[in-house]
Structure 1
Amino acid sequence: MSEETARGAPAGDPGPDKKIPEEGVHPRGKWANNKEFILSMTVSVVDLGNIFTFPYLCFRHGGGVFFIPYFVLLVFCGIPVFFLETALGQYTSEGGVTAWRKICPMFQGVGIASQVIVSYLNIYYIMILAWTIFYLYNSIKSPLPWSTCDNVWNTDLCHSHLSIFANPHLFQPDSNWSFLNNVTSPDYFEDTLLNETESLLHGSTPEKEFWTNRVLRVSDDMSVTTVHWDLALCLLLAWVMCYFCIWKGIKSTGKAVYFTATVPYLLLLIIFFRGVTLPGAGEGLRYYLIPDFHVITDPGMWYDAGMLVLYSYTTCTGVLTALGSYNKYKYNCYRDCLALCCLNSATSIFAGFVVFSVLGFMAFEMNVPIYEVAASGPGLVFMAFPRALSLLPGSSFWAVVFFLMVFFLALGSQFVRVESLATAITDLFPRHLRRRCAREILVLVITVVCFLLGLPFVTEGGIVLYHLIDSYGGSATSLLIITSVETIVIAWVYGADRFYDNIEDMIGYRPFSLLKYCWLFITPLICGLLLLFNLAHTFTLVVFGYVVGAWATAVGSLLMIIPLICIPAFILVSLYKDSQNMTTPSSDLRQAWPHKPILTLCKYVIFKAQGQPNRRADETNEKIVIEELNRV
C-alpha cells in the first residue's frame, strides 16, 4: 500500500492535487490556462538546435534530401516519445521521477537517469546564455569589437575582411608575407611562416580572435584555475534571471513564457526579411535546399537526423513529463503535442532560410565558397553569424537583434530544465517542499549549486569542459538507451493497451494506433540501430587544436555511466524492498477499465488484466468524472 493511500487517499485518484493536503502543505498547482502549457512546451522544444543545428545538417547531408530521414524518424521516433512523456506526466500528475515510480516501481531509475542528464544540462548549457549576454553587451559598441583587428586581444596575424579586399594579392597561395617577420631564411619561411599563413587564411579573423582571445581566453594548457570575473558576472546574471522566472513555480513560469516563447519568433522574422534581401542570399538558399539524392543511403545522415529529433524534442530529460504534470486530468494533450511537433519542425525549416540567406551573403561579400563559412553550434552563433552581421550597414542594430533572439531562446530552454529538476525534487519530498517558502529556497539552492559548479566553465580551459560534458553528459548513447527503456516499459511492462485506455479516459478518444506499435516495436528498433552505429564510431575530442587526453575519456565515460547505472540500480532496490509488486502500478492511478487486458496484438491477448476492479475505485472514478464535467 502506498504512502498516499495509507493516509486515506482514495484509490483511482488521478493526481495528488485531488487529495486533501496535510496542514501547511500546499496542493500541487495546475496551469492557469492552456496557453501557459503550450508556450512552456514551445520554449522547451524550440531552442538553438532548431535555429542553427538543423540548417547545418541539411547543408552537410545533401540539402533538401535531409528532410526525408528527418521526417521519417520524427514520425516513428520523435512524436511517439514526445507524446509518451507528456501524457505520462498528465496521467500521473507527477514529475520525472515519481511518475515512473507510480507507473512501474522497478523502473524508477529511468526517472532518476533523466534528472541526472537534465542536471548536466543545467550546469553547462547556461554558458550559452552567459556568452550571449557578453556579446549582447558588446553589440551596443560601434564599431563592433569583433569587426576590427585594433584591439588588445588581437594578434599580428589578425586580418579583417577589409584587409583581404584591400590587398587581395597577399592572399594567394604564392604570396610573400616575409615583411611580417624579421626573418630572411627561405627554409624558415617555408617551414613555419607558410603554415601560419595557411592557418590565417582558414580562420584567423577578428571574429575568431574575439571569440577565442577575448571571450574564452583560451590558453595553451587549457588551465581551469583562473576564473574570468566578467564572464562570471554574465553567468551570475543568467542564473538570477532564471531564478526569478521559476521561483514561484508554474505561477511565475507560466507568465515568463509569454515573453520568452513569442519574442524569438518576432526577432527571427525580422532577421529573415533582412537576410533574404541581401546579395548572395539566393546562393545560400540553393546550398540549403537543393537535394543530393546520392547520400540518401548514408547511415551517418540517418544517425544525425535521429539524434537531432531526440535532442530538439527535449526527450529523456523529464522536462516534458514535468510540464505535462501540471495539466488538468481531462486536458487534450494529444492534440497539442501534435501541434507542437509541427511547430518545432516548421521552425527548424524556416530557420534554415534565415541562416543560409545570411551565410550566402557573407560568402558573396568575402568572395569565398559557402562551405567555408558554414558552421554549426557555438562556431555558427559566436563566429560565423557575428562576422556576417559586421558586414551589414547598421551592424550594431542587427547584432543586438540577433543576440536578443539567441538570449530569449537560451533563457527559455534553460529555465524549463531547472523547472523540471525542481518539480522532480518537490514531488519526491512533497511534505517538506510544498510548504510556504520551501519552493523558493529549493530553486535558490539549485541555482547557487549550479552556478558554483559552472565557474570552471569561465576559465581558460572552460570550453574544453563545455565540449566534454556536451559530448558525454547528454551523450547519444545515454539518450538512445533511456528512450528504448521508456518505450519498452510503457508498451510491454505497464501495457500499451492499458496506457491507451488511460489516455482515452483523459482526452475522450484513442490516439492513432500507429503510436502503440511505435512504442512496441518501431521506436526501440530504431534506437537500437542508431545505438549500434554510435558505438561503432569512436571520436577524439579536439578543441581549438587541443587534443583532449585519456583523462577526458575517463571523465566522459563516468559522466555517461552515472545516469545509465541508475536504471539497473533501482531495479535491484525494488527487488530488495518489494519483489512481489515490482511492476504493479500505484493504486492512486485511476484505471477506468481495470477488466481490460493490458496488452493485445491483432486482437490476441498478450497480457491479461493485472487485478480485479476495486469497488471503491469505481465509485471514486465516477465522482471524479462528475466533478470534471461540472467544472466544464
Structure 2
Amino acid sequence: METSSSAIEMEEHHEGENGKDLGQASDAAVHNGKMEPAEENPDSSDITESTRPIFIMDEPIEEPSATCCGCGEENKERGNWTCQCEMILTSIGWAAGLGQLWRFPMLCFRHGGGFLAVWLVMHIVLGFPLVLLEMTLGQFTSQGPPRAWRGVPLLHGVGFAVVVMMSILAIYQNTSMAYILHYLFVGSLRDLPHMVRCDNYWNTMECNDYGLTNMTGCREVAGFMWYDDSTGHWQNYTQCPTKSAPEEYWRNYLLQQSDGLETMGAVQPGLAGFLFLSWLMVFLVLAFGIKSAGKVAYLTTTIPFVLLVFLLFRAMSLDGAVEGLIYHVTPVPYAGFDRTDLWVDAVMQVIYSLGVGCGCYTTLSSYNRFHNNTVRDAVLVVFANILVGMLCLCMSAGFLGFLGKQLNEPIENLVSSGPHLVFVVFPRVLGLLPASYLWSILFYLTLLLLAFSCQFVIVETIVTSLLDLFPSGNNGTGGLCNRRMLLHLLLTFTSCILFFLLGLPLVTQGGLYLYNLLDTFVASGFVILPILLLKSIGISWFYAINRWGRDLSHMLQYSCCYCCNKLVTVVCQVCWCLPIPLYLVGCLLWTSLLWPNEVYFESYKYSDGHVIMGWLIVGVELAPIPLVAIINCCLACCVKGRTIIRPPADWGPYLQQHHRGKRRGKVLSQPHIPPKPTIMVVDSTVTSL
C-alpha cells in the first residue's frame, strides 16, 4: 500500500543554535500520545513489515474555523471569545477612550491643520505596527503579557512592568468615572441651571457668568455690590471677574478643593459613593470572565459612536460652529512640518489614543482562536480610532465655536484639555442650548461609556496576567463554574476592592492635585516609550525577526487574503526593526530635554518631595525589567540548558495541536493537554488504542 498520502510534514517553528532547521526529524512515531523519534521507541524493532502501522495520528491536522467570524470554543481550558466581533469591539473600546476628547482637539488647535496630516501618517507607520505586534504576540501564545514575554527571557520583565503600570493606572483612572457619574446623575438632572449661574452659596466674588474677557459684561456688573462670606463685608467689583460659574461649581462645590497636596482634607462622600459605584460596575462586567466583557462591549463601544454622531450634528448646527472647526484645522503659519514638537506630539498622541504599550491588546487577543485573522482586527481598531478622533475634534470645535460667539470671546481663551474641558467648558456650552438637560445627559453618557470601556479592559489585563501565573493544567474545565472561572472571580473581586480603597485619597479635597501628579508620571513618556522600545527590539532583534515572521505565517495560514496579510506583516517587520525604534528613541530624547525642572498644576507648584515621589513611581514601574533580566541571567549561568536569548522549550502556542515540530530534541507539547486516543490504520482496519 502507498504511504505518500499519509506522510506528515514536520516544520520547526524555532531556529537551532546555528540558524538551521532542527525540526526535520524523520521516521517519527507516536508513543503514549506524543511524537518521539522512531529509534527511541523500544518496540519499533518488533514491528514487522506486515504489522507496521501505515498511518499514525496523535492530533488531527488543524483546519480553519468553520465560520468567518471564528465562533466556537477552541481552547476548552482557557476559553475563547464567543464571537470574534466581541474582541474587535472590546479593542476598539480600549482605543477610543477619553484621550480622544481630552487631548486631541487641544493639540490640533496648538499645531493647526498640519498636525492632522502627521497624526494620520503616524497611525500608519507607528500605531498600526505596534497594535499588530501586541495582538499577534497574545494570539500566538494565548497568554497575558508576563507569560507571553517568556519568549525573550532577557526582556521577560517587560510583561511584569506592564502589569505594575496598569495597576497604578487603574487606581486613579477610575476617579474620572466618579466625576462623570456625578455630572451625569446630579449635574445634568439637578444642578445644570445652578451650574452656569453665580448666585449660589458656593460662588465667590470672582465668579463670572458673562465671559472671561467680555468687557461689556464687566461694565454691566460694575458698581454692583457683592457680599463676601469670608470677610463678612459687602464689596464692589473693581475688575472683571476671572472665574466662570461652572469652574466654581467644579472646584468649590464638587471637589471643595484645598490649597495644595499638603492639605488633602476629608473624603467627599458623594464622590466616594460614585467611585464605589464605578468599581462595582467593573466587577459586574468582569465577574464571569472575558465572555461577559464581550457582551458588554456591544453596548459600551457602539452606543458612544451613535451618541458622538448625534452630538456632532447638534454642534455643527449651531451658530459659530463652522468658524470653530476652521479655526482648529487651519494650518498655523509658524507650525511647519519641520518643527520637532509637532512630530513628537503626534507620536505621543497616537501612542496614548491607541493605548499601545499597556499590554491590553496582548490580553484581549490571547482569547482569540489561533488562526484568527489578526491583521484584519488591527486594521479595524486603527481605523475606528481615527474615526473617533475626527468625530471628537469636529464636535469639540463646533461647540467651542458656538460658545465663543455667544460670549463674544476668542476661541483661544476657551480651548483646554483634560478635566477642565469636559467639567468646566462643556457645562457652559450645554447650559446655553435649548433642551440642555437632554444634551447634557447624552454628552456625559458618552463620556461614561468611553471611560468604562477602557477601565474594565485595564482590570481584565491585570486579572488575566495574574491568572496565567498559576500552574497550567490545574484550572480544569466544565463550563461556567470551572476552577479558572472561580479564580477569575476571586481575583476580580479582590482587585476591585483593593483599588477602591487605594483610590479614596483621590476623592479628598486635595485629590485633584494627586490625580494630576499621577497622570503626569504614571503613564508618561518615560514609562511608555522605554516599554515600547524594548518590545520592538525584543521581537525584531532578540527573538529574531525571521523566526517571528515564520510564526506569523504559521498562525495566519488559514486567514482570508493570506497573500495580502503576508505582505502587511513583512512591512510591519521592517518597521519593528528600525523605523519604530528610531521614532521612540527620538521622542524619548526630546521629552527628556524639554522636561521642566519644576512641575505645576495650573498655578500650583509641586514641592520637591512630590516630584521625587513621582519619579519613584516611574522607577517602580520600570524596576521589573532589570530585576527579571538579572534573575534570568543567573539562571542561565546555573541551570544547564537555560539561555537568556532563545525562548524556553515550552514556550509557544498554548495548544499542542498548534505547535510546528521539535527543537533541541524535545517535543513542543503542553503537558496540561490530555492526548487524544491514537488512531491506527493497519491493513485497512481501524483500531482505537
Alignment TM class, shorter chain as reference: 0.7 to 0.9
Deviations 1:132-173 (A, max 9, x none): 0011112012653311122221112212139998x826359x
Shift of 1:457: 0.3
Match of 1:583 in 2: 645
Structure-2 change in CA distance of 1:310 and 1:613 (3 Å): farther
Shift of 1:56: 1.6
Match of 1:602 in 2: none
Match of 2:351 in 1: 310
Query: Is the 2:288–2:485 Cα contact (8 Å) retained in structure 1?
Result: no
Deviations 1:434-453 (A, max 9, x none): 44522111101000110001
1: CA distance between counterparts of 2:575 and 2:487?
41
AA at the equivalent of 1:170: C
Q: Percent identity?
A: 32
Select the residue among 213, 220, 232 that pairs with 2:259.
220
Alignment of 1:328-347 (within 5 A): 328-347=369-388
Alignment of 1:93-242 (within 5 A): 93-101=142-150, 103-137=151-185, 138-141=187-190, 143-161=192-210, 168=216, 170-171=218-219, 179-180=225-226, 197=239, 200-201=241-242, 204-222=243-261, 223-242=263-282
Match of 1:22 in 2: none
Alignment of 1:12-91 (within 5 A): 27-62=77-112, 64-91=113-140
Match of 2:449 in 1: 408
Structure-2 change in CA distance of 1:559 and 1:171 (3 Å): farther
Select the residue among 539, 548, 564 that pairs with 1:490.
539
Query: Is the 1:505–1:592 Cα contact (8 Å) retained in structure 2?
Result: no
Select the residue among 464, 488, 495 that pairs with 1:439.
488
Shift of 1:416: 0.6
Structure 1 unaligned regions, length at least 5: 1-6, 16-24, 183-188, 596-610, 625-632
Query: Is the 2:88–2:380 Cα contact (8 Å) retained in structure 1?
Result: no
Match of 2:549 in 1: 500
Select the residue among 608, 622, 627 that pairs with 1:569.
627
Structure-2 change in CA distance of 1:117 and 1:177 (3 Å): farther
Shift of 1:422: 0.5
Structure-2 change in CA distance of 1:526 and 1:143 (3 Å): closer
Shift of 1:586: 3.3
Select the residue among 441, 451, 459 that pairs with 2:500.
451
Match of 2:521 in 1: 472
Alignment of 1:283-298 (within 5 A): 283-292=323-332, 294-295=334-335, 296-298=337-339
Structure-2 change in CA distance of 1:244 and 1:304 (3 Å): same
1: CA distance between counterparts of 2:321 and 2:491?
49
1: CA distance between counterparts of 2:408 and 2:610?
39
Secondary structure of the 2:145 match is coil
Deviations 1:198-220 (A, max 9, x none): 6x33xx11110011111221112
Secondary structure of the 2:544 match is helix
Query: Is the 2:225–2:237 Cα contact (8 Å) retained in structure 1?
Result: no
Match of 2:399 in 1: 358
Match of 1:608 in 2: none
2: CA distance between counterparts of 1:331 and 1:581?
31
2: CA distance between counterparts of 1:256 and 1:181?
51
Structure-2 change in CA distance of 1:158 and 1:108 (3 Å): same
Structure 2 unaligned regions, length at least 5: 1-31, 37-57, 63-74, 229-234, 476-482, 677-689
**How many aligned positions are there?**
574
2: CA distance between counterparts of 1:354 and 1:67?
16
1: CA distance between counterparts of 2:592 and 2:211?
46
1: CA distance between counterparts of 2:584 and 2:206?
47
Secondary structure of the 2:578 match is helix
2: CA distance between counterparts of 1:593 and 1:511?
22
Structure-2 change in CA distance of 1:435 and 1:78 (3 Å): closer
AA at the equivalent of 1:131: Y
Query: Is the 1:170–1:177 Cα contact (8 Å) retained in structure 2?
Result: no
Match of 2:438 in 1: 397
Match of 1:629 in 2: none
| 2:481 equivalent to 1:423 | no
Secondary structure of the 1:524 match is helix
Match of 2:617 in 1: 559
AA at the equivalent of 1:521: L
AA at the equivalent of 2:628: F
Shift of 1:361: 0.3
1: CA distance between counterparts of 2:191 and 2:227?
32
Query: Is the 2:309–2:391 Cα contact (8 Å) retained in structure 1?
Result: no
AA at the equivalent of 1:289: V
Give the RMSD, CA atoms, in angstroms: 3.1
| 2:605 equivalent to 1:547 | yes
Deviations 1:205-241 (A, max 9, x none): 1110011111221112442241111100000000000
1: CA distance between counterparts of 2:514 and 2:468?
31
Match of 1:528 in 2: 585
1: CA distance between counterparts of 2:450 and 2:432?
24
| 2:574 equivalent to 1:517 | yes
Query: Is the 1:457–1:463 Cα contact (8 Å) retained in structure 2?
Result: yes
Deviations 1:447-494 (A, max 9, x none): 011000100000111011111111111111111111100000000011
Structure-2 change in CA distance of 1:351 and 1:311 (3 Å): same
Secondary structure of the 2:549 match is helix
2: CA distance between counterparts of 1:238 and 1:495?
43
1: CA distance between counterparts of 2:289 and 2:309?
31
Match of 2:426 in 1: 385
* Structure 1, 394-403 or 294-303: larger mean CA deviation: 294-303
* Structure 1, 85-94 or 243-252: larger mean CA deviation: 243-252
AA at the equivalent of 1:256: V
Shift of 1:290: 1.5
Query: Is the 2:258–2:265 Cα contact (8 Å) retained in structure 1?
Result: no
AA at the equivalent of 1:219: S
- Structure with larger Rg: 2
Deviations 1:582-603 (A, max 9, x none): 22223332587779xxxxxxxx
| 2:402 equivalent to 1:367 | no
Structure-2 change in CA distance of 1:8 and 1:492 (3 Å): farther
With the length of structure 1 as denominator, give the TM-score of the two structures: 0.85
Structure-2 change in CA distance of 1:391 and 1:553 (3 Å): same
Secondary structure of the 1:327 match is coil
2: CA distance between counterparts of 1:587 and 1:323?
25
Higher normalized helix content (fraction of residues): 1
Structure-2 change in CA distance of 1:10 and 1:148 (3 Å): farther
Structure-2 change in CA distance of 1:236 and 1:339 (3 Å): same
Structure-2 change in CA distance of 1:492 and 1:613 (3 Å): farther
| 2:339 equivalent to 1:277 | no
AA at the equivalent of 1:95: G
Query: Is the 2:226–2:237 Cα contact (8 Å) retained in structure 1?
Result: no
Select the residue among 324, 328, 342 that pairs with 2:365.
324
Deviations 1:538-579 (A, max 9, x none): 233323422111011100000111121211111101011234
Structure-2 change in CA distance of 1:193 and 1:364 (3 Å): closer
Shift of 1:116: 1.1
2: CA distance between counterparts of 1:616 and 1:149?
71
Structure-2 change in CA distance of 1:142 and 1:106 (3 Å): closer
2: CA distance between counterparts of 1:480 and 1:86?
18
Match of 2:283 in 1: 243
